[in-house]
Amino acid sequence: MPIISMFYGIIIRMYLIDNTHHNLPHIHAKYSEFEASITIEDGEILAGKLPRKQLRLVQAWIELHRDELIADWEISISGENPYKINPL
């Protein structure tokens, strides 16, 4: 479960070969005791929960880095480590 970015106490991960549980391209965001799977396409939560402020930060970050995230998704579902992406 490689970490691809960290900002404002939020850790963003993209798991390897993670297209079986949620078929949609997504990331995993963790903040304190909260964790959520969030779609890359529209920033919606697939599972879990984040505080509203942190969710908005993650959604803004996704908006800024969507192309990089899609590229990382393709790499990670093939079993390779995704590239790091700049924080907010």
Within 13 Å of residue 74, how many CA atoms lie on the same side as its CB? 5
pLDDT (tens digit, 9 = 90+) per residue, 16-34?
A: 887 766 678 999 999 999 9
Burial class for 42, CB neighbours closer than 10 Å (0-12, 13-18, 19+): exposed
Domain map (residue ranges) of the chain: 3-77
For the stretch 64-78, pLDDT in tens is: 999 999 999 999 989
Question: pLDDT value at position 22?
Answer: 64
The tokens for 13 are 């991960």
Query: Which residue is it, tokens 């963003």?
Result: 12
